[in-house]
Amino acid sequence: MPNVSRSFSLCIKLLPKPLDRQMMVSYLLYRALDTIEDSSASIPKKRLLFRRFLKLHSRRPYDAAGTVACRDEMLASLDYTYEKSLISNLESVLRVFHAQPAGVRKAIRHWGRVMAKGMYEFQGKRIKTFRDQDRYSYYVAGVVGYLFNDLLYHNRIITDHVRRRLRRHARRFGQALQKVNILRDVAHDVPSGRYYWPQALLVKYRLNYDGLCKAENRAAAMKVLRAEIKNALAYLYSGMHYVLSLPHDALQVRMFCLIPLFMAIESYIKCIDNHEVFLDEKTVKISRLQVQEIVAKSGLWGTSNEKLVNWFVRSMARADPMLSKSPCSQELMRLRAVPAGRKR
């Protein structure tokens, strides 16, 4: 797990049992799908691997021979770095998956299929508008928000009523994290042929992907960056709304959400009007000290909606002092005094 995501492996350890293992195996399975998506294999080959990999989720009991065959084909067909350890140990991951309760397997399998379908859809499709970007972010991250919501219900942490009420915010929570990644990684994504910023937005400012990060186009690129910043904002508010609506005594669950959310918020703030977003020799990221502060505050304030809202508004006000007076901020301010409820 730490090989493919240090930050996520840290957060997963905070979750109560057995939710921690369920989210761990979900992440690893979905990261395998992501490895197929990001590889330089042909589109027909990716389609075949998506189908074969997902088929292993459906077979009961565990299909050892099929798993070995799929593993070997993925190792032979895909590009990978840190993911090699994951693919090499696919048998162990799928054994853990098949050991989960039926309801957990069903949820992981369902959202994995949605994810793979969306990833395949965008293999031959450019992101032309923010609507396309929203849809792509939904497939690769929003579905994880839905899955987490379903697993909370399965583990009796939230009621079915709360699960249904939180669906929109669960989706946008996942999308928020993805949109910040799209923001800060543009200088590394574009040279690799990964084009996540809307093509129509670039055209509006007489840019294309080849020229987006060039120094001579910096003034126009900064205008594109501001539009990206504006688009991502509502998703961060929605992510905070999701956390505030979780049971206030579910501290471990709230910390699992708060840490990546506030890491994304701090990264988002660093991207605002920052030309270093377009420099491939730079990586816009937060410091280790900031990470430590986020972890500490999440633990100290995680059960208090009032303190969490104040933290969020203060953080966002550093980006724009007027944000604290926006309708989204006012809505969160109303939530800070509303009890979030208790676990089932």
The predicted-structure confidence for 152-174, as pLDDT tens digits, reads as follows 999 999 999 999 999 999 999 99
All domains of the chain in start order, with CATH? 1-123 (no CATH), 126-344 (1.10.600.10)
Half-sphere CA count of 36, side-chain side, radius 13 A: 30
Q: Is the confidence at residue 142, as pLDDT, over 90?
A: yes
Cα(230)–Cα(6) distance, integer angstroms: 29
Whole-number pLDDT of residue 124: 84
Q: Is the confidence at residue 291, as pLDDT, over 80?
A: yes
CB 316 within 8 Å of CB 293: no
Q: Is the confidence at residue 91, as pLDDT, over 60?
A: yes
Q: Is the confidence at residue 303, as pLDDT, over 60?
A: yes
Dihedral sign, Cα of residue 73, residue 4, residue 274, residue 312: positive
CA separation, residue 264 to residues 28, 86, 115, 149, 317 (Å): 21, 25, 22, 20, 15
Whole-number pLDDT of residue 59: 79
Whole-number pLDDT of residue 4: 84
Name the band, by pLDDT with cuts 50, 70 and 90, for residue 100. Answer: very high
pLDDT, one tens digit per residue, over 219-262 is 999 999 999 999 999 999 999 999 999 999 999 999 999 999 99
Segment among 134-143, 242-251, 255-264, 316-325 with least mean pLDDT: 316-325
**Whole-number average pLDDT of the chain:** 92
Name the band, by pLDDT with cuts 50, 70 and 90, for residue 342. Answer: low
